[in-house]
Structure 1
Amino acid sequence: MKHILDAITALDSSDSTPEDFAALPLPESYRAVTVHKDEAAMFDGLPTEEKDPRESLHLDEVPVPELGPGEALVAVMASSVNYNSVWTSIFEPVPTFAFLERYGRLSPLAKRHDLPYHVIGSDLAGVVLRTGAGVHSWRPGDEVVAHCLSVELESADGHDDTMLDPEQRIWGFETNFGGLAELALVKANQLMPKPAHLSWEEAAAPGLVNSTAYRQLVSRNGAAMKQGDNVLIWGASGGLGSYATQLALAGGATPVCVVSSPERAGICRAMGAEAIIDRSAEGYRFWKDEHTQNPREWRRFGARIRELTGGEDVDIVFEHPGRETFGASVYVARRGGTVVTCASTSGYQHVYDNRYLWMSLKRIVGSHFANYREAWEANRLVAKGRIHPTVSRTYPLERTGQAAHDVHRNRHQGKVGVLALAPAEGLGVRDRAMRERHLAAINRFRADGGE
């Protein structure tokens, strides 16, 4: 891979052409973070919190996949860990090989994905090396990021909202050849321009979570947030919540940020939020026991929110913890308000009192990733410096297991980055002047202040 890395490193000081990159010889294999099909039962019988991604994630040398029509092969400079990488690594809620087997039955080309190993990862920043037949908008040498929506669009259902395509999948989770690797295979319509003022690891961080937060909060397919809305954001300094907080502030809404420590509260204040609830310090316990929720705590929580908003309930609840918080979320939303939900990282079985939903005309909206347009708009906000990456720490590819362990145990802030081909942090910046204008915000989540 060294000649590929050398060509990419020289991009900002050379006159390389697309033809030069297309002429670079491809290796027969590359390093990739994988889970193995024959280990899918390795954590059987263990509670979720005891399952360790460091035991299941491998750094393997795997063959370069065949490039198909409408696809691109990308040299991955950096990636990041999302919660779907954690789910893959602990084989919950089901081993991802079931997704790959199902995809493999779709067509002879899709059969490539059904392998005894799964190359994971749903983010990347890198450089296009090859494009398949029918690709016109991207050329070898282009610096790109990728969103993780993979669709076939052979059904009419997906042509108003690509997320509704019956063959919608999340790349690197429900498909193979993901971004936690030195090379990645994507559909060319997943590609977007890399923000020029960001380093590789910074550019790789927003893709999945920023697009997800954009659809969930801003889009008419989600909560359709407007100026002046009060928005309750669970986990407001985390990988998903940190982007929701920024989007609320950028859109003229008031985020009510729920965090679990003074340090996380400080990060929300640094982003510009003022209404903050430290749920650990204030001792909220929404469940009396495993089977019984505590409405008294819902009421105490709602009263605290009104203290922070000048007596108003929240218009929108940005929900992603799921089981642990969902009953409280439905309760605290205002009359006619919206609870928009994804992920369910604390459990998929949601319990709430329906009287507070139907009698107060509230809505629950399910939201999953983002369609092509939403992902593009979310990336455009990053490129314009309106939304900033939230990288707090970066690991080398061989320590991806530790990175996933951090996310699994909630030991991280913002996003945890992974360097693939990039030999060090801070590389790949093309627009230094713009970077200087936003440097404090770019480094906001880094404990050492970054550069």
Structure 2
Amino acid sequence: MQKILDAILSGAWEEVGRLPVPESYRGVTLHAGETAMFEGMESRDKDPRRSLHLDEVATPEPAAGEVLVAVMASGINHNTVWSSIFEPMPTFGFLARYGRTSPQASRHDLPYHVLGSDLAGVVLRCGAGVAGWRPGDEVVAHCLSVELDHPDGHADTMLDPEQRIWGFETNFGGLAELALVKANQLMPRPRHLSWEESAASGLVHSTAYRQLVSPAGARMKQGDTVLIWGASGGLGSYATQLALNGGAIPVCVVSSPRKAEICRRMGAELVIDRSAEGYRFWRDEHTQDPKEWRRFGARIRELTGGDDPDIVFEHPGRETFGASVYVARRGGTIVTCASTSGYEHTFDNRYLWMHLKRIVGSHFANYREAWEANRLVARGRIHPTLSEVVPLKDTAQAVHDVHHNRHQGKVGVLCLAPAEGLGVHDPETRARHESAINRFRKS
């Protein structure tokens, strides 16, 4: 592994493909025998530091259409949090189901699961039939894994019945020294960013892009008012940038003055600190409070000069969904992915049906959407929202911190990269955007 790293750091790209691939590598794993360890506990009390391990695991051989990547850096996403606390179910069920689909997929059904749905790294080996990529290429990977054996996936790959999220519903993910991906997950790495910065955007930016911009999502247009929950977090920080970049007006909802300041650094002017203003959308575990919906809606109109949101960017789920449906304008759109506060959403349907609103479900992004999102990063129009970086050995602690919302933006992980700041090939472009690239690091 050290020889591979030395070749990458020295820029000896042709040598990378000739070096032997190690028989094993280090990866962050879950163990199938431990899936019952948190039974009976509340979600908030489940500790990823108990369930996540840093193991030495066997290196998979890339099959047809697959690529083995030396991972320089990765990132923490909420799907790793869900995996680590075995909610809504242990991921080993995903691996078993995938393993039954083909002999090639059966390699994923193992008693351990290597997690991680982001990476920036260098191609080491290509399986049969891979075109357009070769050993030595610097890449980032998006996390959509598809089979495309069914016609439903060919208009939009997110509709493939065998669509999965790599590193969550498949094995050999990016929180590791090596990773196995399909060639159609690869995209060119932005040349003005470091390894850890390059790895920060893949999952969350592509998800936000489809959710807001794509015809499959909310179809955001110039002048739209967009309410963004968790606007300084992983998803929300990219949604805020996309809204500003696309001529929309973000209304950023955060939970602390520190997070409000982050939104203002991105250029947002309308910010609601929901903790400071004391919004409590639930009276108790079973009863929502419409008075709080109305108070929240009035605050939005106060900030916007009387406008209700054209689009509500939803991802907290149960805690906020009733308020989201209420505050959207007549004919507006609530576009939802994930449910970090709970999967069972309840709302007053009168405000949906009688006011002609739409709820749109959105999940990650297809290859084209991910490519377009990555191109915005490469051109310096959207910037990584990296707030801190940890070594691979400290991944479990980082996942624990994300679980408890102690983070801003994205938390990066150094896998093979020995230090931060490596891998920048276009210092001129970087110099033009240095402040924006680092704005989350000042928090």
In structure 1, how many angstroms separate the alpha carbons of the residues matched to 2:259 and 2:189? 28
What does 1:210-359 correspond to in 2, within 5 Å? 210-359=205-354
Equivalent position of 1:407 in the other structure: 402
Equivalent position of 2:411 in the other structure: 416
In structure 2, how many angstroms separate the alpha carbons of the residues matched to 1:225 and 1:432? 33
Query: How far did 1:447 drift?
Result: 2.9
SS in 1 for 2:440: coil
What are the ranges of 5 or more consecutive residues in structure 2 without an aligned counterpart? none
SS in 2 for 1:312: coil
In structure 2, how many angstroms separate the alpha carbons of the residues matched to 1:376 and 1:424? 27
What does 1:32-431 correspond to in 2, within 5 Å? 32-431=27-426
Q: Once the two structures are aligned, what percentage of the paired residues are identical?
A: 78
Letter of the 1:200 partner, please give it. Answer: W
SS in 2 for 1:233: strand
Query: How far did 1:66 drift?
Result: 1.9
In structure 2, how many angstroms separate the alpha carbons of the residues matched to 1:59 and 1:438? 35
Equivalent position of 2:438 in the other structure: 443
In structure 2, how many angstroms separate the alpha carbons of the residues matched to 1:206 and 1:66? 27
In structure 1, how many angstroms separate the alpha carbons of the residues matched to 2:382 and 2:101? 38
Deviation string 1:179-237 (CA, Å, 9 cap, x unpaired) is: 00000000000000000000000000000000000000000100000000000000000
Query: How far did 1:21 drift?
Result: 2.0
RMSD: 0.6
SS in 1 for 2:319: coil
Letter of the 1:277 partner, please give it. Answer: I
Letter of the 1:78 partner, please give it. Answer: A
SS in 2 for 1:98: helix
Query: How far did 1:406 drift?
Result: 0.9
Query: How far did 1:22 drift?
Result: 1.6
In structure 1, how many angstroms separate the alpha carbons of the residues matched to 2:230 and 2:281? 15
In structure 2, how many angstroms separate the alpha carbons of the residues matched to 1:293 and 1:112? 46
SS in 2 for 1:335: coil
In structure 2, how many angstroms separate the alpha carbons of the residues matched to 1:237 and 1:276? 11
Query: How far did 1:334 drift?
Result: 0.2
- Alignment check: 8 A CA contact 2:61 2:68 kept: no
Equivalent position of 1:10 in the other structure: 10
2:427 is equivalent to residue 432 of structure 1: yes
SS in 2 for 1:411: coil
Query: How far did 1:67 drift?
Result: 1.2
> TM (normalized to structure 1)?
0.98
In structure 1, how many angstroms separate the alpha carbons of the residues matched to 2:297 and 2:29? 44
> TM (normalized to structure 2)?
0.99
In structure 1, how many angstroms separate the alpha carbons of the residues matched to 2:238 and 2:305? 24
In structure 2, how many angstroms separate the alpha carbons of the residues matched to 1:4 and 1:66? 17
Letter of the 1:326 partner, please give it. Answer: F
Letter of the 2:126 partner, please give it. Answer: T
Letter of the 1:282 partner, please give it. Answer: E
In structure 2, how many angstroms separate the alpha carbons of the residues matched to 1:63 and 1:338? 46
- Alignment check: 8 A CA contact 2:63 2:127 kept: yes
Query: How far did 1:274 drift?
Result: 0.3
In structure 2, how many angstroms separate the alpha carbons of the residues matched to 1:56 and 1:398? 14
Deviation string 1:331-364 (CA, Å, 9 cap, x unpaired) is: 0000000000011000000010000000000000
Following superposition, which runs of at least 4 residues in structure 1 exceed 6 angstroms of deviation?
none
In structure 2, how many angstroms separate the alpha carbons of the residues matched to 1:291 and 1:136? 54
In structure 2, how many angstroms separate the alpha carbons of the residues matched to 1:416 and 1:43? 25
Query: How far did 1:299 drift?
Result: 0.4
Letter of the 2:440 partner, please give it. Answer: F
Letter of the 2:66 partner, please give it. Answer: E
In structure 1, how many angstroms separate the alpha carbons of the residues matched to 2:97 and 2:139? 29
In structure 2, how many angstroms separate the alpha carbons of the residues matched to 1:368 and 1:374? 12
SS in 1 for 2:39: coil
Letter of the 2:226 partner, please give it. Answer: V
SS in 1 for 2:72: strand
